[in-house]
Structures are given as C-alpha cells and as structure tokens.
Amino acid sequence: MEDLERRDLQAISENTDITGKELQSILEENIYPKQDSWEKFIKIVLLTLGIGFLAAGIVFFFAYNWQDLNKFLKLGIVQGLVVISVLLAMFLKIEKLYKDIIITGSTLLVGVMFAVFGQIYQTGANAYDFFLAWTVFISLWVFISNFPPLWIVYLGLCNLTIYLYWDQVARSWDFIYLSSGLFVLNGSILLVCAWIKSKGKGNIPTYFTNLLALSAAIWSIYSNLYWILGDRTQDAIIIVAATLLFYGLGLWYANREKSVFYMGLIPLSVVIILSGAILKISEEDYIFLGLSIFIIVSVSLIIWNLINMQRRKSHGQ
C-alpha cells in the first residue's frame, strides 16, 4: 500500500465495514509520518539552516573586518571555503540529499567570492557581469547535482543577469522586449519541465514548477500591460500570441492534472490584464465603477471554481 492516500481510505471507510480501530492502524502505518521521517526532516532543516547561517556569517565577517584584511587573505579565505565545501560534498559518505545541500551552500560562497573580488579590484559587485560569472561558474554543479532548490537559485540568477544586462548595458532596448523575453524564457522552461514530469522522465517537485509558473505569469502581465497602457500595438501580436499559447497550454494541463494552483494563477493573470485594458478605455468615473464590479465578479467566479475543483479532487472525481 505504498501509494495509499487519504481519499482512498475515505472511499474504503464509506464503502466497506472496516472498523475505526483498523482504519486508525492503516493511517498510522501508511499515512502518518514515522519517527525516522521526522528525524530525516530535522536533519535536513538543521543542515540547511547551518549552511545558510555559515554563508551569512562569512558575508558579515568580511563586511566587519574588511579594512583589517589584505586582498590575498580575503580571497584566500573565501576560495579555501569553496574548495573545502566541494571536497566535503565529493568525499563524505553521506546521502546524496546532504551532498546537494552542501553544494548549494558552495554556490552561495561562489557569489561571495566574486563579490569580494569585485570589491578588491573595483569591478563592481552589482554589475551584470558579476551575476553572469556567478551563473556560469556554478552551471556544472547545477547540471550534475540536478537538485531542485539549486535549480531555483540558478534560474533566479539567469533572470537577474538578463535584467541587469538590460538595465546597465542594453539601455536602448525597450522594457517590453525584456519582459516578453523573460516571459517566453520562463514559460518555455516550464513547458519542458511539465513534459518531463508527464512522461515520467524525471522527478520534478511541484513547488519548482509552481515558482516557474509564477515567474512566467508575472512577466506576462508586465508584457501585456506595457503594450496596452503604452500604446505599443505594433508589439501586441507576438505578445498576445505567446500569452494565448502559454495560457491555453497551462489551462489544458491544469484541467488534466486537476491543478488548483494553475486554475487560480492563469485566470487571475487574465483578470489583471483585462483590468489594464478597461482602464485604457477611459478615465471617466464610471470606468472605475465598472472595473470594480468586474474585479469583484471575476475573482468571485475564480474562487467558486477553485472550491468546486477542490471538492471534486478530494472525492476522486
């Protein structure tokens, strides 16, 4: 009964004469977390907090003692910590999960290393090339470990690098190209992850795809509101086409997988975009009244649909 879920037990209790004592025994054996599960959870949390506090402590150490350390000592300390953490992950005989957590801490130390280098040689610790170097030099670790939290850090650095490149170098580019490009980038990665997950070719956690979907939705809202409120109709065709494609695929996937998250995120994004279009029509007072009614009715319908969907899901329909 490894795949037994609460709704299965509910169906069994409703359609059989199983006693409450037997049902409780099944719950304790298959549903409730056991002592070893709690021990593993506590170990992971403590290790994650320890590595996070260690990285934060190193940052504060350099910030407080910056004037008292020479440049060789500054670089030597942080580079030595990176090497030590990588060696620990390679040679310690521990579970892969713990090694992945250590590697994730090492990626944070790589960022600290480039920040220290940038401060010493005045290359800029907030420039796009700092984040670009950080992204490039951890790429091998990301692909080898295939650890979802590390992938989140990696994709966050990719988005930040592209944004800073637009802000600091490609100033002639319009913001609509940045927002639409990041929308398509995050949306495409999400589609690949959804395909991999549906084909059973990899174990991609739900929180990872949800974060990707949230990022893609935010950039899609930016893109659509920018051309709507900024009179950029020449850019509307590509953005609207991409929005319809990704939103349509998202709704199809949500309906197939019974995903409450996507069925809430996508309609809410559409409501925000349509609200911008309504505001563009006119600035008269009656428009604000109509917009308020539209938002109240739309959000109420979304919530009503989500509640019904959750009920059907809980009953296995």
pLDDT in tens, 16-61: 556 556 555 655 555 555 556 666 667 667 767 777 777 777 777 7
User: Does a structural domain hold residue 73?
Assistant: no
- Residue 21's pLDDT is what? 61
**Reduced to 3 states, what is the DSSP secondary structure of residue 190?**
helix
**Reduced to 3 states, what is the DSSP secondary structure of residue 93?**
coil
* Longest alpha-carbon distance in the chain: 77
Rounded distance between C-alpha atoms, residue 34 and residue 201, angstroms: 29
For 83-101, letters b (16+ CB in 10 Å) and e give eebbebbeeeeeeeebbbb
Domain count, the chain: 1
> Residues 151, 216, 302, CA angle at the centre, nearest 5°?
125
**Average per-residue pLDDT for the chain:** 80
- Residue 220's pLDDT is what? 92
Share of the chain above pLDDT 90, in %: 17
In which band, very low, low, confident or very high, does the pLDDT at 256 lie, cut at 50, 70 and 90? Answer: confident
Rounded distance between C-alpha atoms, residue 44 and residue 54, angstroms: 15
Picking from 181, 188, 174, 278, the residue whose alpha carbon sits closest to that of residue 220 is 181
User: Does a structural domain hold residue 303?
Assistant: yes
User: Does a structural domain hold residue 306?
Assistant: yes
- The full 3-state SS of the chain, as one line of letters, equals CCCCCHHHHHHHHHHCCCCHHHHHHHHHHHHCCCHHHHHHHHHHHHHHHHHHHHHHHHHHHHHHCHHHCCHHHHHHHHHHHHHHHHHHHHHCCCCHHHHHHHHHHHHHHHHHHHHHHHHHHCCCCCCHHHHHHHHHHCHHHHHHHCCHHHHHHHHHHHHHHHHHHHHHCCCCCCHHHHHHHHHHHHHHHHHHHHHHHHCCCCCCCHHHHHHHHHHHHHHHHHHHHHHHHCCCHHHHHHHHHHHHHHHHHHHHHHHHHCCHHHHHHHHHHHHHHHHHHHHHHCCCHHHHHHHHHHHHHHHHHHHHHHHHHHHHHHCCC
User: Does a structural domain hold residue 143?
Assistant: no
User: Does a structural domain hold residue 5?
Assistant: no
Give the single-character DSSP code of 28: I
User: Does a structural domain hold residue 167?
Assistant: no
Per residue in 207-227, pLDDT (tens digit) is 888 899 999 999 999 999 888
Residue 281 structural domain:
174-317
Does residue 174 register a pLDDT over 70?
yes
Distances (CA, A) of 237 to 180, 227, 249: 12, 10, 18
> What is the number of residues in the chain?
317
Picking from 179, 134, 172, 170, the residue whose alpha carbon sits closest to that of residue 153 is 134
Mean pLDDT to the nearest integer, 128-146: 88
Q: How far is CA 312 from the centre of its chain?
A: 27
User: Does a structural domain hold residue 283?
Assistant: yes
Per residue in 82-135, pLDDT (tens digit) is 888 888 888 888 788 788 888 888 888 888 888 877 777 766 555 788 888 889
User: Does a structural domain hold residue 188?
Assistant: yes
How crowded is residue 116: how many other Cβ atoms within 10 Å of its Cβ?
22
